[in-house]
Structure 1
Amino acid sequence: MKKLMVPVILTMFILSGCSSSDRILEINDKMFLSQVSDIYTNYKDYEGKKVKIEGIYNYFEYDEETNHIVYRNGPGCCGDDGIVGLFFNYDGEHPLYNDWIEVVGTLEIGEVNGLEDIIINVESLTVNDERGLETVSQ
């Protein structure tokens, strides 16, 4: 029976037609902080990968440029006063401040406030009524 399992599993994988480029890294509630930190720490492993991330929408204006971010509250120097998330580029209509959004897109290096940073080049952006964990610790 054990000899039969390997060909069956291999055949199922081949027939599924799923390649690594079809996969989406889902940044979830439980490991949000760890996953986003790993993207920043090991960017070369994630460059060009598709991600799906949910969080709070906000934007920052700097030198007449607006930078958009999807984030969660996280640990800071004095308790839960920090934020963790990813900037994104989006050509469509932007959500309202503090909306809960889901962003799907590809990770790349872009410019934020005149400096290189990791951004999501957005393929889809959805405003959701149901919110996940707004404050994360992992």
Structure 2
Amino acid sequence: MKKFNLNELIWFLVLLTLSLYIFFMIYTGKIYILIHPKMKVYLIIGFIILFIFTIMQFPKIFTIPDRGGLKKNNLIFIFAVAMLMIAGNINVSSTYLEFKGVNLFPYYDDHEVKEKHNHETSIPSGIIELKDENFYCYLEDIQKNIDDYIGREVQVEGMVYAKKNMNNNSFIVTRLVMNCCAADSQYIGVTCTYYGGNVKTNTWVNIKGTVTKNTIKDSKGRDRVVPEVKVNSIEKIKEPNNLFIYQN
């Protein structure tokens, strides 16, 4: 009897496809749209283990198959691999932004207690530059200590988002921040006022202006004081390859 097990072949192909895809994601850096860079070492360990299982699976292809026919549970794993590949092509859009919302308020929990983070913020004197590596930390400190930064010049890179209820001269510059993985990501941003013309949603910009403050209502109808940038100039920039920034 010829030894060829179709079920084992399908399972081998699932493992091989998953192994190659994870390797591709790590090699190209695209994995960081799914997980925080601090998780890379665990992913590499997982990849090595998965690749070993893939090698061990190969000889099982040449075994006598079960009489039960094709295993339907293989479809579950094929579907899971397909979903992972789709997730790897995630992109920020206005629709996704509408769904996630933007965090404009200081970082408090439900009991109004400030969260503790494992970083210490030290914003140097001069122009405040909110870029990939410091956007989260700097914005958090400005939100918590608004009065200390009123009048300071600021430069912000991010994506423009304009809510439907905002006036024509207002918009939000947002970034998508990740704590551990894409599932816990959230948009953070700062409101801006600009009288030099309308700026389209989804446009990536580098804005320059002055820190001011504004009072807006949160989702519970409470007044919140938030930092706002009075924009002096706007420069359109290229959308970054990686749309995420990372919480330290």
TM-score calculated relative to the size of structure 1: 0.71
Is 1:128 the counterpart of 2:233 in the alignment? Answer: no
| Matches of 2:217 and 2:163, distance apart in 1 | 9
Q: Is there any run of 5+ residues in structure 2 with no aligned partner, and where?
A: 1-124
Q: Does 1:38 align with 2:147?
A: no
Report if aligned partners of 1:56, 1:134 keep a CA contact under 8 Å in 2: no
Superposed counterparts of 1:95-110, under 5 Å: 95-110=199-214
Question: Which structure carries more relative contact order (alpha carbon 8 Å, separation 6+)?
Answer: 1
Residue type at the aligned position of 2:140: S
Identity of aligned residues (%): 25
- 1:61 and 2:170 correspond: no
Q: Residue 86 and residue 57 in structure 1: after superposition, are their counterparts in 2 closer, same or farther (change >3 A)?
A: same
Q: 2:155 maps to what in 1?
A: 52
The C-alpha deviation readout for 1:33-91, integer Å capped at 9, x for no partner, is 111101001112211101001001110122x7354000101248x511x1111100001
Query: Pairwise mapping of residues 74-85 of structure 1 onto structure 2 (< 5 A)?
Result: 74-75=177-178, 78-80=183-185, 82-85=186-189
Q: Equivalents in 2 of 1:95, 1:128: separation in Å?
A: 13
Q: Which moved more, 1:89-98 or 1:128-137?
A: 128-137
Between the aligned partners of 1:90 and 1:132, the Cα distance in structure 2 is 27
C-alpha deviation, 1:94, in angstroms: 2.3
Q: Secondary structure at the match of 1:61?
A: coil
- Aligned-pair distance for 1:112? 4.2
Query: Which residue in 1 is equivalent to 2:197?
Result: 93
Q: Is the 8 A contact 1:39 1:46 kept in 2?
A: yes
Secondary structure of the 1:35 match is: helix
Q: In the superposition, relative to structure 1, how do residues 86 and 53 fare at CA in structure 2: closer, same or farther (>3 Å)?
A: same
Q: Which amino acid is 1:34 matched to?
A: C
SS class of match (1:37): helix
Of 157, 165, 174 in structure 2, the residue corresponding to residue 71 of structure 1 is 174
TM-score normalised by length of structure 2: 0.42
Distance 1:33 1:130, change over 3 A: same
Alignment partners' CA distance in 1, 2:217 and 2:145: 22
Between stretches 103-112 and 33-42, larger displacement belongs to 103-112
Per mean C-alpha deviation after superposition, the further-off stretch among 65-74 and 44-53 is 65-74
Cα deviation, residue 126, structure 1? 1.1
Count matched residues: 115
Residues 133, 119 of structure 1: CA spacing in aligned structure 2 closer, same or farther, 3 A cutoff?
farther
Return the alpha-carbon distance in structure 1 between the equivalents of residues 154 and 133 of structure 2.
16
Q: CA deviation at 1:32?
A: 0.9
Cα separation, partners in 2 of 1:102 and 1:73, compared to 1, 3 Å:
same
